Amino acid sequence: MSFSAITDGWMLHHAGGDIPASFAAIPAHPIPATVPGVVHTDLLAAGLIPDPYVDDNEALLAWIGHNAWAYETTFTWSPDGETVHDLVAEGLDTVAHVTLNGVEIARTRNQHRTYRWRVDGILREGENRLRVEFASPIAYAREREAVLGERPHSYEHPFNAIRKSACNFGWDWGPALVTSGIWRLIGIDAWSGCRLAAVRPQTGVGGDPRRLRVEVEVQREAAGEVAVRAEVAGSVLEAVVAAEATSAVLEAVIPDAELWWPRGYGAPALSSLVVTAGPDRWEKRIGFRAVEIDTTPDDDGAPFVVRLNGRDVYVRGANWIPEDTFFSRITRERLAERFRDTTDAGMNLLRVWGGGIYESDDFYDLADENGILVWQDFLLACAAYSEDAELWDEFAAEARDNVTRLAPHASLVVWNGGNENIWGWVDWKWRPRLRGATWGEGYYQELFPGVVADLAPATPYSPGSPYGFSRYVHPNDPAHGTTHIWDVWNEVDYDVYRDYRPRFVSEFGFQGPPAWSTLFSVVHDEPADPYGPLMLVHQKAVDGNGKLERGLGSHIAAPRTIDDWHWATQLNQARAVAFGIAHFRSLHPLNQGAIVWQLNDCWPVISWAAVDSHGHRKPLWHALRAVFADRFASFQPREEGLVLALHDDHDDEWTGTVALRRLTLDGVERARVERPVRVAARSAALLEVPEEVRTTEDAAQEVLVAELPGGGRAFWFFAEDPALALDPEPVSVSVRAVDGCYEATAVARAVAKDVTLLVDRVHPAARVDRALVTLLPGESAVFRIDAPAGLDAEAFGRAPVLRSANDLVPVARPALR
């Protein structure tokens, strides 16, 4: 039994549609193609199109999605001793016509499914010709919209009429580079007798993390019993698939199994599960855990508590979008880098958002290995969807396919019906437009929960995000279930986060530009300008740069130069999100988590991401590492006065003495008190700040500092930056090359807020280990910089690489625009 991928000899043909005159050479002859791949990457590799990410090439290449394309290859096959041969396609994007040796095999309409077709009798000894022709996905989506009925959706194209990644048609952080291609493996699967058609292991059955249930489906050539055997953690389970049956269930408690825990709660232990049926063998590492989501109503509304192995897990997470617009370019190595970003920032959950894709096995394997929880959306987002049989049947097959594929993963702890669609039905004026037409409720309340209950009953299901877990509360009511907070960023200042008392925040965020080197590798306005035409190609949010500018509010003075604009908006993004998370954590246990929008980018763009598409950790990432620390404290205003809110998300209690100091900005201590603190493990506490330290003599000249037990600090400035008497040049920096890297030592002569080295401005490959460091007078901090040897080391210690909040203080010069 074997699977042979067909990866060689592929050629790409233009198969129909209009091509701009400037690209007239493209249809003249086929070009070599890479499978897995898509049309854009093949044309790029052949030198026939420019880089789609640069300047306004997105618009220049929009015609590709309006055209038909075909992939064709010849491959050699000879009898191999097996009696059944299936052509298996793990991913066709999207509207495909498949032929083998001139015989039609299938017509497919779903990017998110795996297909299997028996080809015995068509496959022949010697040379075989395989052709996959793709119709224009844009034309198909519009055609089906006309048949199914127009329904509300975001952006230009009717992505809700086709089963293709929604964001591939463009989003407020992504380009409209509409792809076609064989985006996952295709090949011949040869077998005899019987094969394992599906293996669905579930741990945590009945709430016992060591109880394992393995449902096995078999396909066979002829009737007859099939013996099934499973081995894991020293235990053996056996069953028989009866002659008239196609499946069997093996279930037992595995006494020697080690439990799987998310990061911060224990080791993510994995055990090898081997399942055999006749000659076929299936092997996967699984984790033993029991998961539940507690939404039981209480006096404050209804919580959303993730519980693993009987323990409540405070969620510190991020939303995940596809790592590249061209999905076939996403490698395990790139995913591993993003998981390092996730764990290094102290996160414990990634939400795979509903406008993207069901990610590769590599993604979920890495989540299992790193102890990162996965919240998985079904792929519906920001739109109303027809429930006609045409789409219903596709959704049903897609759901069963992907729930089966992902069932073995311990990390997957929530299946979610979709993104913002229930909220859209209630609030976005859909009903007058729909006039009674279906909009997707049947998927969220009937189809998807039924599939999960049938195929993965030990994994919780949520109908949507946001969702209040009652038909009688608003789906985005912060007091019930999950909520999205988007008035901040879109409409109001980020201090409005403090007006919320959310039980669980599954989306919120604030924009900022990517690293300087990332942004200006693709934007070439002369001169550089936040409102330059090419810059705005890489700002997809409606009035995004206007919102960035207004979002500075009273927090940061209007920037004077493009350098200041870049730094000020990056800094403000970091502060806005950190402000929100600090407030949410101060509400624990009322609040049980936050999932920031978003971790990553799919191309170089001004966006909500913490890590840009070139892998640079933005200041936001460094802010997340601080506010997602296991032990965190922040000053918070309350009706009774200023308090120090402490959250101990750790297995040990947090005890010691807090020193509260009111200082001048040049370091003179005006008042000091010490207070004992004791915060129980996985709990929170509020410490009232005494009047002598919370009352300032001069708001422009003073700062309140909390020195925390075990190290760490919290700061409270009595005024916003433009009103503070900040020294505009508060630090001196010395740099030396050491141990294959560089070390920059910053020494403060006055309070220096948010000292940061934008090291990519020296070299695009440079990375630095810390940012947003606030120093008191006389203090120093060492920044470790990984960068190529032979650079001008002193450049790391001077402007525009060296930045702080201090150098944005107002001066008597006109602001930028």
- List pLDDT tens digits, range 559-572: 999 999 999 999 99
Q: What is the pLDDT of residue 812?
A: 39
Class of the 2-189 domain? mainly beta
Distance of CA 686 to the CA centre of its chain: 32
CA atoms lying within 13 Å on the CB side of residue 381: 24
Distance of CA 482 to the CA centre of its chain: 17
Nearest Cα to Cα of residue 512 among 470, 461, 549: 549
**Domain over 318-515+578-627 is classified CATH 3.40.50.2300:** no
Q: Which residues, 6 or more positions from 711, have their beta carbon under 8 angstroms from its beta carbon? A: none
The CATH label, of 2.60.40.10, 3.40.640.10, 2.60.40.1930, 2.60.120.10, for the domain at 731-808 is: 2.60.40.10
Q: Which residues pair with 181 in a beta bridge?
A: 93
Q: What is the pLDDT of residue 223?
A: 84
Q: What is the pLDDT of residue 799?
A: 95
Q: Which residues pair with 707 in a beta bridge?
A: 659, 713
d(CA 480, CA 475): 8
3-state secondary structure of 620: helix
Q: What is the pLDDT of residue 814?
A: 43
With residue 248 as reference, give the H or E element that holds it: strand 247-253
User: Which CATH superfamily, name and number, covers 632-723?
Assistant: Immunoglobulins (2.60.40.10)
Residue with tokens 């990610």: 359
d(CA 763, CA 516): 10
Residue with tokens 């405070």: 314
Nearest Cα to Cα of residue 535 among 522, 523, 546: 523
**Residue 673, class by beta-carbon neighbours within 10 Å (0-12 exposed, 13-18 middle, 19+ buried)?**
middle
Q: Which residues, 6 or more positions from 658, have their beta carbon under 8 angstroms from its beta carbon? A: 644, 674, 675, 676, 677, 687, 706, 707, 708, 709
- Would you list the DSSP string of 514-536? --HHHHTTT---SS--TT-HHHH
d(CA 248, CA 269): 27
Strand 226-232 versus strand 235-241 pairing type: antiparallel
Strand 315-320 versus strand 349-352 pairing type: parallel
**Residue 613, class by beta-carbon neighbours within 10 Å (0-12 exposed, 13-18 middle, 19+ buried)?**
buried
Nearest Cα to Cα of residue 282 among 353, 378, 194: 194
- List pLDDT tens digits, range 92-138: 999 999 999 999 999 999 999 999 999 999 999 999 999 999 999 99
Q: Which residues, 6 or more positions from 39, have their beta carbon under 8 angstroms from its beta carbon? A: 12, 64, 69, 134, 179, 180, 181
| Phi-psi domain of 223 (left: phi exceeds 0; alpha: psi -120 through 50; beta: other) | beta
Q: Where are the domains of the chain?
A: 2-189, 193-286, 318-515+578-627, 632-723, 731-808
d(CA 535, CA 18): 29
Global pTM reads: 0.96
Nearest Cα to Cα of residue 354 among 220, 444, 278, 432: 444
Q: What is the pLDDT of residue 25?
A: 87
Listed as ranges, residues in the chain with pLDDT below 70 are: 811-817
How many CB atoms sit inside 10 A of residue 563's CB? 18
The backbone torsions φ and ψ at residue 385, rounded to the nearest 5 degrees and listed phi first, read: -125, 135
Q: What is the pLDDT of residue 817?
A: 44
Q: What is the pLDDT of residue 697?
A: 87
The backbone torsions φ and ψ at residue 636, rounded to the nearest 5 degrees and listed phi first, read: -135, 130
Nearest Cα to Cα of residue 403 among 360, 363, 454: 454
The backbone torsions φ and ψ at residue 565, rounded to the nearest 5 degrees and listed phi first, read: -60, -45
Question: Strand locations in 7-48, DSSP E?
Answer: 11-16, 31-32
Distance of CA 479 to the CA centre of its chain: 25
d(CA 407, CA 460): 12
Nearest Cα to Cα of residue 177 among 22, 38, 71, 46: 38
Contact 368, 268 (CB under 8 A): yes
d(CA 547, CA 643): 31
d(CA 88, CA 78): 18
Q: What does CATH list as the number for 193-286?
A: 2.60.40.10
> Please, what is the Cα angle at 436 between 431 and 437, to 5 degrees?
100
Residue with tokens 């007058």: 432
Contact 399, 380 (CB under 8 A): no
d(CA 601, CA 610): 8
Q: What is the pLDDT of residue 811?
A: 60
Nearest Cα to Cα of residue 791 among 747, 760, 749: 760
Q: Which residues, 6 or more positions from 146, have their beta carbon under 8 angstroms from its beta carbon? A: none
Q: What is the pLDDT of residue 78?
A: 94
Return the sign of the alpha-carbon dihedral for residues 408, 409, 412, 417: negative
How many CB atoms sit inside 10 A of residue 225's CB? 12
Same fold, 318-515+578-627 and 632-723: no
3-state secondary structure of 400: helix
d(CA 114, CA 401): 7
